Amino acid sequence: MIEGTPANFAEELALREIIHPVLQSSAHDCIHSNYRVDLEQGGTRFIDFAIITPSLRIAIEIDGYSYHAEGAISKKVFNDGLKRQNELVLQGWVVIRFSFDQIRQEPEKCKDQLRRAIVTDSLLHRNFIPVGVEPTQLQTEVLAALEKTRAVGHQRGLVAMPTGTGKTILSALDAKQLGGRVLFVVHNNEILRQAEAAYKRVMPNRTTGFINSEHLKRAYSEDLIFANISSIRNPSTYQRFGREYFDYVVFDEFHHGAAESYLKVVKYFQPKFMLGLTATPDRTDKKEILSLLGGNFIFGLSTADAIARGFLVPFTYYGLHDDIDYSNIRHNGFRYDTSDLEKVLLIPKRDKAVYEKFCEYAEKKKTIGFLD
């Protein structure tokens, strides 16, 4: 039974359309409506919905568009709302905000965001993956190679394996094998979240934290720290740690290692062991990355070999002629704007062409049934 009562129709809709469908019925006791929180700087605030378990605290706020339109509310009320959100984050809450329009028009996207927030909680997530990991045959092979390379005195090295063969879990298993404090660095916040979930499965009793743009309170003393390179590359950040502070440092997507943003961080830390992970060790600009890891290539597996050995399923590439004019699509210096791309790429004519190609291939393979 949910504790408290939704204050308005928007909150009732969020509860009915988003929160209840995502959570298991057995977890409904974890939901608290109009939940009171005492702020560290004084005062009391109320969260629209609080989801609380022994390992997770999520604050869900429901907003209307007019609440943030200029003149609709006072500047004091607006600033107070921002201060409340910051206080919640600093107290360790995961804060999720949904607008009334989002709940009505894009309920599946809202539910997906909530699922991603609860994915590591065994009580809340029906697809929770239990703690404890047994290495695969491939991971066992690579773990032995890592042990061997350390036994002969190497303190860093590169592992190249295709996407989908378990590189993140591999690094967690090896970090547990070595012991001590861990730093995991990559350029993408989504990968960081996935990495933390993987490491929690392997080492559930270790504390974790983030150094990235999503967390106002940065982690400097946790056992396992997950850092976005854009947040840790500033000397004032990475130099807060001693050069030998971490026992194990992982640079995921290490083909980025030759970039200026990575170089200083890679060269600064001197852990007991540094591991570079990548699926694509060869850079298009031909810059060499292996020398950053002492020239030590520990293990390599090509996609073709991974398929041949049964670690990946076979696949077939299909390419369509692209006559899109990209000059009018917004670009932030790193990637194209997704909404702009969808407008020009997701069109029936292109979708039909893709479908017809698959049908043609399936007919040849006499497996047309898989398209049903």
Give phi and psi for 31, each to the nearest 5. -95, 130
How far is Cα 221 from Cα 241, in angstroms, rounded to an integer?
A: 9
Average pLDDT over residues 238-266: 90
Q: Is 129 a member of any domain?
A: no
Q: Are residues 145 and 101 in the same domain?
A: no
Q: Are residues 70 and 195 in the same domain?
A: no
Q: Is 318 a member of any domain?
A: no
Q: Are residues 359 and 230 in the same domain?
A: no
Instruction: Output the domain CATH number for residue 186.
Output: 3.40.50.300
Instruction: Output the domain CATH number for residue 50.
Output: 3.40.960
Q: Are residues 101 and 143 in the same domain?
A: no
Q: Are residues 289 and 330 in the same domain?
A: no
Percent with pLDDT over 70 in the chain: 78
Q: Is 206 a member of any domain?
A: yes
Q: Are residues 162 and 289 in the same domain?
A: yes
Q: Is 126 a member of any domain?
A: no
Q: Is 288 a member of any domain?
A: yes
Residue 369: pLDDT band with limits 50, 70, 90: very low
How far is Cα 304 from Cα 312, in angstroms, rounded to an integer?
A: 9
Q: Is 29 a member of any domain?
A: yes
Cα distances (angstroms) measured from residue 279 to each of 154, 157, 188, 299: 22, 14, 15, 11
Q: Are residues 286 and 153 in the same domain?
A: yes
What is the reported pLDDT for 70? Answer: 44
Q: Is 101 a member of any domain?
A: yes
pTM given for the model: 0.58
Q: Are residues 213 and 295 in the same domain?
A: yes
Choose one of 85, 118, 151: the last residue of a domain.
118
pLDDT per position as a tens digit, 26-57: 567 788 888 888 877 667 778 888 888 877 88
Q: Are residues 57 and 157 in the same domain?
A: no
Q: Are residues 299 and 248 in the same domain?
A: yes
Lowest mean pLDDT among 82-91, 109-118, 121-130, 132-141: 121-130
* Structural domains of the chain, count: 3
Choose one of 253, 280, 308: the last residue of a domain.
308
Q: Are residues 301 and 332 in the same domain?
A: no
Q: Which domain holds residue 57?
A: 9-118
How far is Cα 129 from Cα 133, in angstroms, rounded to an integer?
A: 10
What is the reported pLDDT for 368? Answer: 41
Choose one of 58, 87, 118: the last residue of a domain.
118
Q: Are residues 106 and 174 in the same domain?
A: no
Q: Is 314 a member of any domain?
A: no
